Amino acid sequence: MKTNAILIGLLIGTSILFNACTIQEDNIGDVTIIEGSGTSSEGTITLEGEISEDLTLNSDNVYELVGGVSVKDGATLTIEAGTRIVAGNTGGVFAYLAIEQGAKIMAEGTASQPIVFTSNQSTPNPGDWGGLLLAGKAPINRGTTATTEVANLTYGGTDASDNSGILKYVRLEYTGGKINEDAEYNGLSLYGIGNGTTLEYIQAFNGNDDGIEFFGGTANLKYAIVTGSGDDSFDWTDGWVGNGQFWIAQQTSVAGDKGIEADNFSDNPGATPFSNPTLSNITLIGAEDGDGENKGIEFRAGTKVQLYNAIIKAFPGKGIEVDDDQTLTNLNNNEIIVMNSIIDNENSFDLDHGGATVDLADFSAFYNYTVDGSGDPFNTAATTIPDVDPDTEEFVISGFTGTYQYTSAIDGFDNFDPSTLGSFFDAANYVGALGEDDNWTSDWTRL
């Protein structure tokens, strides 16, 4: 599938050639490794079953997942930079890779040699296989532990610093196999993952469901891009309280829903711990997929949040929507913060589907810009978003196919330094995910 290039600077990742190898059939724990078997292409190595002992996948080989492949408690799966892993479905059973509680994945690619999970089809499509699932022992709000909606994994616990390993320079393509009307795989599912886990430089590309979703936990995510998601680009629920910086969502006209869908817990919006992440330098670029409903962000089901330095643009529905009484109460209590951000959307802000009384007076100090000034509570400093020559290193916006780089050198729009939010956050003297001299998407991502 070809997607439209909306952000200049999001470069197609450098292609990497992977050499096949010849080995004998072997067993590592309960996982079977077979050369060129089943539906695999000649020379690939098939992985199926359970990995109960340490295993390394090296970049000289191409690996194929068949069915559910699970790394068990106590085992570590190491994946070398440049390794390619393909997957599909066999008899309607979608392949996936699951890292269970107590297990680890050590997948450290590089910008020039990313680790790629992709479809095994010659003409790939969204939903060709399942996805990557990590289950940890960090707190959630639907009980001490719970069971995942796909793959039947246990997740949750009491260890906020739980460590499920490292994902770095990893690309997940054509995920989102649909099991039924209620269950689909995401690109990357993070179930109760702790903040001892490293999650950096991750792309979900052309998935059928959500790109990256947090189910509770305390995990932090930096340098993430979701391109062409069939549903929401980023999603959280179950009491996620981690941090995020430098995220990009890029919708296409093929399919999509929200740039961010944010829940606390739909069955009990007041459940604790509340979802309450802190995010900075987020760029969400929408597209019309035919239903007119795509939204930049929907805060609902009791979530809390602190959001700084964000850009929301080109969604045919709302820029930001706040739903449900508990969420509106959180907004009223200054527990939903949107600050130093640009909502360049026809419908920039909407309070919907709730009866709580909301006082938006405090937003007058938050320095947010919107596309128009017609009674919009976010319009605190300007009636329109101005265009400034990028050579001046000031505020820049140049349309859907232009460069999105912001330094907010406008009267009334103060710079906000995200490094003041805590040690996780880097200093970034601009709004949005891309700085003028820091295109972290180069080489390893694709459009």
Q: Are 377 and 365 in contact (CB under 8 A)?
A: no
pLDDT band at residue 391, thresholds of 50, 70 and 90? very low
For 145-182, how does the pLDDT look when each residue is reduced to its tens digit (9 = 90+)? Answer: 999 999 999 999 999 999 999 999 999 999 999 888 77
For 237-290, how does the pLDDT look when each residue is reduced to its tens digit (9 = 90+)? Answer: 999 999 999 999 988 888 878 999 999 999 999 999 999 999 999 999 888 888
- Min mean pLDDT across 71-85, 136-150, 217-231, 354-368 is at 354-368
For the domain that residue 93 is a member of, what is the CATH number? 2.160.20
Does residue 405 sit within a domain? no
- The most confident of the ranges 17-26, 222-231, 407-416 is 222-231
- Min mean pLDDT across 16-30, 72-86, 403-417 is at 16-30
Does residue 63 sit within a domain? yes
Mean of the per-residue pLDDT values of the chain: 79
Percent of the chain with pLDDT over 70: 75
Q: Give 412 or 217, the one with higher predicted confidence.
A: 217
Domain count, the chain: 1
Nearest to residue 109, comparing CAs of 65, 58, 64? Answer: 58
Q: What is the pLDDT of residue 348?
A: 72
pLDDT band at residue 414, thresholds of 50, 70 and 90? low
Q: What is the pLDDT of residue 147?
A: 97
Does residue 408 sit within a domain? no
Q: Give 367 or 54, the one with higher predicted confidence.
A: 54
- pLDDT over threshold 50, residue 392: no
Does residue 17 sit within a domain? no
Nearest to residue 359, comparing CAs of 327, 334, 342, 325? Answer: 334
Does residue 19 sit within a domain? no
Q: Is 102 left (phi over 0), alpha (psi -120 to 50) or beta?
A: left
- Min mean pLDDT across 92-96, 299-303, 384-388, 400-404 is at 400-404
Does residue 419 sit within a domain? no
Q: What is the pLDDT of residue 179?
A: 87
Residues 406, 410, 413: CA angle, nearest 5 degrees: 85
Structural domain containing residue 269: 26-358
Does residue 207 sit within a domain? yes
Does residue 124 sit within a domain? yes
Residues 439, 410, 6: CA angle, nearest 5 degrees: 35
pLDDT band at residue 43, thresholds of 50, 70 and 90? low
